[in-house]
A and B are shown apart, each in its own frame.
Chain A
Amino acid sequence: MKQIAVISGKGGTGKSTLVASLSQIVNNKMTADCDVDAPNLHLLLEEKDQQKWDYSGAKEARINYDLCIKCGICKDVCRFGAITEDIVINNLKCEGCNACVVACPQDAMYLEEVNTGWTSVSTTENGTFAHALLDTGAEGSGKLVTEVRKKIVPFENGEEWLIIDGSPGIGCSVIASITGTDAVIAVTEPTKSGLSDLKRVLDLAKHFSIPAFVCINKFDLNMDITNEMEKYCVEKGFMVVGKIPFDPLIVKALQEYKTPVDTGDQEFIDEINSLWNKVTEYLSQ
């Protein structure tokens, strides 16, 4: 099974819309939403037979006050300001790093696993689908992304593709989304911000030696920047595999929980088919 991650750098460029549309067009695939902070893909899919697991991806320090002599060493070694003057743990600041546990002369401290979210795998009309949600404000998005990708693997039933919906940015959760994938598709929009973020996310793919393709969404919004993007991609050796026009009807469809494929937007469907063919053709070489 080959894995393709759809990422963007900048948020809101259309990752989930593209992934949802691909999931309707591509045969023989599974999908995973790896934006665990703010997952959206499930809103467009009807899930059945959902299996759900609690996720304990983080640890937090705890104090056994029967043993604690309030010497304050834990507070001094903590680099996250997670221990107060009165020797109480601030859970939101604790990274579960273990430094206080190691330093405590009384053996009064220990780490406890905490529940920081959940993962799920379900059946949809368009194949097996996994997603997750990190508790608000929690640590460890990257680890949860890795967990989502791990969770869907045992459900593989001869599928050829795993299509991954990534999160914005270039940090831990994006790195966890693209590690070990066969290719990434970077979805961008022709704005100055979009261009700046595209360059960074393509650098990231290059850094990890993953082939990257580009899809310019709303390409006719600013032709100057679209041209600049295409020129940049040619220079740097990235293939632009799709260009989708600015169309308020796409937003309108989403408002009704529908993809442009659902509404039968033929121009869009042709473009997505052609995008997918270009990516798969490259990968089969």
Chain B
Amino acid sequence: MKIAVLSGKGGTGKTTVSASLKSSIENCQYIDCDVEEPNGGIFLQPEISNVYPVMVKVPEIIKDKCTGCGECAKACQFNSMAVVKGNVLIFPELCHHCGACILACPEDAMIEVERQIGVVETNSDESFMHGKLNVGEPISIPIIAMLKDMVKDDGNVVIDCPPGSSCTVVESVEDCDFCILVTEPTPFGLHDLNIAVELVKKLGLSFGIVLNKASENSKIINEYCDDRNIDILMEIPFSRKIAEAYSKGILPIEADADLKKEFGEMFRKIEGKVLA
């Protein structure tokens, strides 16, 4: 079973929930798809033994063949090339690696060369995997795609998603059996929870909610969920102790055995929903 953990808003506790869930169930693979700012490793402390470069294909001009006709720049939708005085300039970081320019070139004057945008790192049995986008690179999708290709077919998988609600999140949650939406009881949390709910509904995925930093102010989220018949799978209380443990890279389940049990129970609840 593949479970994605997302939130819309950043900093609500995606990594806390996904790393805790991974540690509470047997035989589970953890994949950190927040490749811009991966943090799962801080809590799970994997021993990285494999490092794979993530390569993308970008165009290069064969100068002898190029006539400077500009068909490549016309075909490109991402402004990754420009023709100045008959010379083609390529801006590789804007390239979406689609190959349209290659197809458009009437002179066969373009080839594709490989360029590294980041890495995927795993431990020896690949029960832990994360990706890292190189600083300065705008496009992270190919790294997420590579991580998703390495998902094991059998066993359980927890996918820690990037914040937001755009294409990187879609790529991360795709093909998952269930989504956990993590939120916090603030107007910001609620606003962005609603965005995340819209997203998973649009994608036709089943989902439930983990309410993090729950307090006497949780009403704002409870009412939202009651009105829409959305299941709150679990609550993690607001506590300075949990925040302090988090700051040191310690998961709340390590300090609280009951909480670990609750994560196990949540997993079984999700299993029941998915298999039903």
Contacts and interface: CB of A to CB of B under 8 A. Distances in A.
Interface in B210-240: 217, 220, 240
A233 B192 CA distance: 32
B153 to A, nearest CB: 18
A183 B85 CA distance: 35
A182 interface: no
Contacts of A280: none
A79 B99 contact: yes
Interface in B180-204: 185-188, 191-192, 195, 198-199, 202-203
Interface residues of B, number: 58
Identify the interface centre among B9, B133, B140, B202: most chain A CB within 10 Å of its CB.
B9
A37 B103 contact: no
A192 B245 CA distance: 10
A172 B168 CA distance: 11
B86 interface: no
A168 B163 contact: yes
Contact of A12 (B11, B136, B203): B11
Interface string B106-143: 00000000000000000000000000010111111000
Contacts of B247: 189-192, 194, 221-222, 225
A40 B191 contact: yes
Interface stretch (B36-44, B47-55, B58-66, B260-268): B36-44
Interface string A181-214: 0000000011111101100110110011000000
Nearest to A98: B100
B164 interface: yes
A138 interface: yes
B195 A169 contact: no
B139 A172 contact: yes
A25 interface: no
Contact of A175 (B99, B138, B167): B138
B166 A255 contact: no
Given A12-B12, A193-B39, A99 B164 contact: no
A11 B186 CA distance: 15
A40 B168 CA distance: 20
Contacts of B100: 97-99, 101-102
A16 interface: yes
B137 A138 contact: no
Interface residues of A, number: 67
Given A79-B97, A137-B169, A171 B36 contact: yes
Contacts of A127: none
A59 B98 CA distance: 14
A137 B166 contact: yes
Given A77-B99, A203-B135, A204-B135, A37 B165 contact: yes
A168 B165 contact: no
Identify the interface centre among B42, B99, B188, B243: most chain A CB within 10 Å of its CB.
B188
B165 A170 contact: no
Nearest to A225: B247
A117 B34 CA distance: 23
Please provide the 5 A-B residue pairs with the shortest distance between their CB atoms, ordered closest to farther: A11-B10, A12-B11, A37-B164, A97-B98, A169-B36
13 contacts: A8-B10, A10-B39, A59-B77, A103-B103, A141-B166, A167-B163, A168-B10, A169-B37, A196-B37, A200-B36, A200-B135, A204-B135, A255-B185
Interface of B: 8-12, 15, 34, 36-37, 39, 42, 75-78, 96-100, 103-104, 133, 135-140, 162-170, 185-188, 191-192, 195, 198-199, 202-203, 217, 220, 240, 243-244, 246-249
